[in-house]
């Protein structure tokens, strides 16, 4: 289900870092020895055994991150991102695996398109990538894709991300038939007759700026519908990029009733509110939109208490000339792969809103579990998927530093604390700084 | 006094040290507004003379970029610039490279290459004026950006009110109609609030923006609420902004029946304003539009002197209050 270019695992010893793996209950200063890409030993003052040595005193070593929601723009918009550039960006962000969304041109709705992506990943992907396939043909919300064949061909899951499955009857069929795939179904929840031409969250800020509002209820109504259908069909479901308090509450209530529902949230929804849109900066335009302070509070609480299992960047690269336009004319979406940890460390961990351990879990084990991917673990015998973080270093986000082909970041010019120093993915060093 | 300063031929405006723009009423202080209104008054007196042209902005260039149809705003900006002896150039979306799909950035850069002192822009998209301010070196005046702002309209409305009542503090203005789609309403709510006037918005529920009270105004969905106001400001029912099937109101007929401003719904002595163009018989009864209490023509005249004042103010080193556009750093 995950594909990357073949490369031999490395021999490496990382010395003196604080090893922090919340899932494995490890929190100690240790050396980590990697033999041929597999974690061989954790311990004090390990014998380098002719391995390459990385001095990591004062740094934090954790399981590498998993991003369950990335737009690689391939095929169709290779000017914005490719599998190569997107996975390099992910490596710089501390990721060891990412999942790409199928809303490309053409849409990933057939085994042929999926097969060509898998081939491309085996040639160009710096780190393991999985591909979700569409629920409906061309994501038009009319006919189911051949989900069985797509699953056999390696689809990591199914989604029409970017669009809702508008008809409830079709959503029900997707839940029913999707059972044969044994892959997660992920839903973009938006009631289009309510979001209409909405440009930002509907509230006091949109009232003042004059933008057409995209109300919270446009999301939460669809979340509630999909949860009802999932409960009725007794099928698991994953809610993409929740943004509204009412959506978090609906997910929490459904979980308490025993519905198998997971959810993800983006760094920008966790860090910003609709107040930021006052700048009219097109890099603050995304779908779902930034919501009110109360919604942000609910998202943070949902991430903290585990209602929301995963941080997902919804990395959405856009060509410069498309974002260099008045807010209303610009496309929705912002990048996020290279800044997610630092943004969340700066905005959530440093102010004490969530513990570091929780953030690490929600960026790694949490999203891996949603898609049933192997969880990155810092333990002997596990494949080396780890990130070394410098929690004392800070850096201004500059356009020139991105490995992504696009720079439509909401963080340009902001100083963030927490830098990725080393990423090891599938036993290979994919990033070092 | 500002009027003496304005009319001295030898006092050419010095180069401003900082680029200033008029993008939104939210960028202005009370002092800025008072200064602009005082300058407009001095221009009004100068226009009473036989020779109406002032040499004040001789050698300056004002470019008008109009991406939406406009009679009042475009003609008054053009005349304002001419009255101040500036060179003017007008670009309309139709018949220009915009028709060929040129982006706003490229059009702005092209016009910016002529080093205009001021670019006046009217555009259907929110943020267009700020965008032009970011990509050119000119002073930018927002002549309407989508549903966002129309600051010179609000200033001319303040001028009209001040002229009529001799004060702004404590006035009560009822704004009636399609607030949701109205940049005029948004600018005016802020401007009136800034100057100490009270505002009540009266509209059908779907045409009142959610949480608009946060802007510091009262709201009502009953037309009777206009009776308490000193001034009834009637907004245009913007048929062009009403999307098919949006169902904001069931029909214009029903709108007129419930929210149309008629003589019967007014109290004697209430003043009437309208930003134009009017839909007579829709939002405003013709008898109201033509009544002696209507200030609608005064508004048009105020538009000229107010826009002269804005151009003058931007190109001289008045106290800085119109901020330079910049992206606020994300918190």
pLDDT tens per residue, range B5-17: 333 333 344 443 4
Residue span of the structural domain in which A108 resides: 65-378
* CATH architecture label of B2-149+303-315: 3-Layer(aba) Sandwich (3.40)
B185 touches chain A (CB under 8 A): no
A157 lies in some domain = yes
Extents of the domains making up chain B: 2-149+303-315, 151-299
Q: Which chain B residues contact residue A214 at CB under 8 A? A: none
Distance CA B234, CA B282 (A): 11
CATH of B151-299, one of 1.10.460.10, 3.40.190.120, 3.40.50.1370, 3.40.50.300: 3.40.50.1370
| Whole-number average pLDDT of chain B | 88
A36 lies in some domain = no
Q: Which of A199, A213, A326 sits opposite B128 (nearest CB)?
A: A326
Looking at residue A185, which CATH number applies to its domain? 3.20.20.140
How distant is the Cα of B310 from the closest Cα of chain A, in angstroms? 22
The pairing of strands A60-63 and A386-396 is antiparallel
A236 lies in some domain = yes
For B43-76, what is each residue's pLDDT tens digit?
999 888 888 889 999 999 999 999 988 888 999 9
Q: Which chain B residues contact residue A204 at CB under 8 A? A: 211-212, 214-215
For A249-308, what is each residue's pLDDT tens digit?
999 999 999 999 999 999 999 999 999 999 999 999 999 999 999 999 999 999 999 999
Quote the Cα angle for B141-B147-B148, to 5°.
Answer: 50
A29 lies in some domain = no
Q: Which chain B residues contact residue A409 at CB under 8 A? A: none
How distant is the Cα of B213 from the closest Cα of chain A, in angstroms? 8
For A300-325, what is each residue's pLDDT tens digit?
999 999 999 999 999 999 999 999 99
Identify whether A314 is a catalytic site residue: yes
How distant is the Cα of A135 from the closest Cα of chain B, in angstroms? 29
Do the chains contact at A207 and B209, CB–CB below 8 Å?
Answer: yes
Do the chains contact at A204 and B214, CB–CB below 8 Å?
Answer: yes
Do the chains contact at B105 and A202, CB–CB below 8 Å?
Answer: no
Stretch A394-405: mean pLDDT: 96
Q: Which chain B residues contact residue A279 at CB under 8 A? A: 327-328, 330
A433 lies in some domain = no
Given A31, A160, A274, A314, the catalytic residue = A314
Quote the Cα angle for A195-A201-A205, to 5°.
Answer: 135
Tell me whether residue B301 is exposed, middle or buried, using C-beta atoms within 10 angstroms of its C-beta: 0 to 12, 13 to 18, 19 or more. Answer: middle
- Interface predicted TM-score (ipTM) of this complex, two decimals: 0.89
A209 touches chain B (CB under 8 A): yes
A299 lies in some domain = yes
A354 lies in some domain = yes
* pLDDT exceeds 60 at position A67: yes
pLDDT of B100 reads 73
B98 touches chain A (CB under 8 A): no
More confident residue, B14 or A173: A173
Do the chains contact at B215 and A203, CB–CB below 8 Å?
Answer: no
A350 touches chain B (CB under 8 A): no
Q: Which tokens go with B240?
A: 């062009």
Number of structural domains chain A divides into: 1
Q: Which of B127, B183, B246 sits opposite A326 (nearest CB)?
A: B127
pLDDT of B246 reads 78
Which residues of chain B fall below pLDDT 70? 1-19, 99, 240-244, 317-331
Sheet of A65-70, strands arranged across:
A65-70, A95-100, A129-133, A157-159, A185-187, A237-239, A261-265, A310-311
* pLDDT exceeds 60 at position A132: yes
Do the chains contact at A326 and B104, CB–CB below 8 Å?
Answer: yes
Give this prediction's pTM. Answer: 0.92
Q: Which chain B residues contact residue A339 at CB under 8 A? A: none
Q: Which chain B residues contact residue A329 at CB under 8 A? A: 104, 125
B18 touches chain A (CB under 8 A): no
A177 lies in some domain = yes
């Amino acid at each position: 289900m995950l594909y990357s270019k073949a490369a031999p695992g490395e021999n490496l010893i990382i010395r003196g870092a604080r090893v922090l793996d919340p899932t494995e209950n490890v929190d100690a200063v240790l050396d980590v020895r990697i033999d041929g890409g597999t974690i061989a030993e954790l311990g004090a003052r390990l014998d380098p055994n002719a391995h390459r040595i990385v001095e990591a005193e004062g740094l934090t070593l954790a399981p590498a991150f998993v991003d369950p929601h990335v737009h690689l723009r391939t095929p169709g918009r290779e000017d914005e991102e490719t599998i190569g550039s997107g996975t390099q960006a992910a490596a710089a962000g501390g990721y060891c695996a990412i999942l790409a969304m199928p809303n490309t041109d053409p849409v990933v709705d057939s085994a042929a398109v999926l097969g060509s992506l898998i081939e491309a990943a085996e040639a160009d992907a710096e780190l393991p990538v999985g591909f979700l396939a569409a629920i409906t043909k061309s994501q038009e919300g009319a006919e189911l894709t051949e989900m069985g064949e797509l699953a056999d061909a390696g689809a990591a899951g199914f989604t029409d991300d970017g669009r809702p499955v508008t008809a409830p009857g079709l959503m029900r069929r997707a839940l029913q038939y999707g059972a044969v795939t044994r892959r997660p179904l992920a839903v973009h929840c938006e009631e289009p007759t309510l979001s209409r031409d909405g440009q930002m969250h509907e509230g006091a800020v949109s009232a003042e700026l004059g933008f057409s509002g995209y109300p919270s209820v446009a999301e939460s109504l669809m979340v509630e519908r999909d949860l009802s259908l999932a409960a009725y069909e007794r099928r698991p479901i994953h809610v993409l990029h929740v943004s509204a308090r009412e959506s978090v509450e609906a997910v929490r209530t459904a979980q308490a009733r025993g519905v198998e529902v997971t959810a993800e949230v983006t760094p920008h929804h966790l860090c910003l509110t609709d107040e930021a849109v006052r700048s009219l900066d097109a890099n603050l335009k995304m779908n779902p939109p930034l919501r009110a302070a109360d919604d942000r509070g609910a998202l943070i609480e949902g991430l903290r208490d585990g209602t929301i299992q995963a941080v997902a960047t919804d990395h959405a690269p856009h060509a410069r000339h498309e974002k260099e336009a008045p807010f209303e004319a610009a496309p929705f979406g912002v990048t996020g792969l290279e800044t997610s940890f630092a943004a969340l460390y700066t905005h959530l961990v440093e102010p004490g809103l969530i513990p570091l351990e929780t953030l690490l879990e929600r960026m790694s084990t949490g999203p891996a579990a949603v898609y049933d991917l192997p969880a990155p673990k810092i333990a002997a015998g596990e494949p080396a998927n780890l990130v070394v973080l410098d929690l004392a270093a800070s850096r201004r986000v500059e356009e020139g530093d991105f490995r992504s082909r696009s720079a439509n970041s909401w963080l340009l010019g902001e100083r963030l604390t927490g830098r990725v120093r080393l990423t090891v993915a599938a036993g290979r060093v994919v990033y070092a700084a | 006094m500002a009027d003496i300063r304005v009319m001295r031929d030898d006092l050419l405006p010095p180069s401003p040290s900082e680029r200033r723009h008029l993008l939104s009423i939210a960028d202005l202080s009370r002092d800025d507004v008072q200064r602009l209104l005082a300058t407009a008054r001095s221009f009004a007196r100068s226009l009473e003379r036989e020779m109406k042209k002032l040499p004040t902005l001789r050698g300056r260039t004002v470019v008008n970029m109009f991406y939406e149809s406009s009679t009042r705003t475009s003609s008054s900006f053009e005349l304002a610039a001419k009255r101040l002896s500036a060179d003017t150039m007008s670009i309309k979306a139709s018949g220009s490279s915009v028709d060929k799909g040129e982006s706003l950035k490229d059009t702005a850069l092209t016009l910016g290459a002529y080093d205009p002192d001021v670019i006046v822009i009217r555009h259907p998209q929110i943020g267009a004026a700020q965008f032009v301010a970011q990509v050119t070196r000119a002073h930018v005046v927002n002549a309407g950006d989508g549903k966002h702002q129309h600051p010179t309209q609000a200033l001319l409305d303040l001028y009209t009110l001040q002229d009529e009542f001799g004060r702004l503090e404590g006035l009560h203005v009822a704004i009636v109609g399609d607030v949701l789609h109205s940049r005029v309403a948004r600018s005016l709510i802020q401007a009136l609030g800034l100057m100490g006037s009270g505002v009540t918005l009266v509209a059908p529920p779907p045409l009142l923006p959610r949480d608009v009270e946060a802007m510091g105004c009262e709201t009502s969905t009953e037309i009777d609420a206009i009776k308490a106001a000193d001034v009834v400001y009637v907004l245009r029912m913007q048929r062009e902004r009403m999307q098919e099937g949006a169902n904001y109101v069931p029909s214009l007929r029903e709108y007129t029946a419930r929210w149309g401003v008629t003589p019967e719904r007014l109290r004697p002595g209430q003043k009437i304003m309208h930003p134009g163009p009017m839909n007579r018989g829709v939002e405003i009864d013709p008898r109201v539009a033509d009544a002696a209490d209507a200030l609608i023509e005064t508004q048009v005249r105020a538009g000229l002197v107010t826009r002269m004042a804005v151009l003058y103010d931007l190109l001289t080193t008045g106290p800085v209050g119109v901020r330079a556009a910049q992206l606020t750093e994300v918190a």
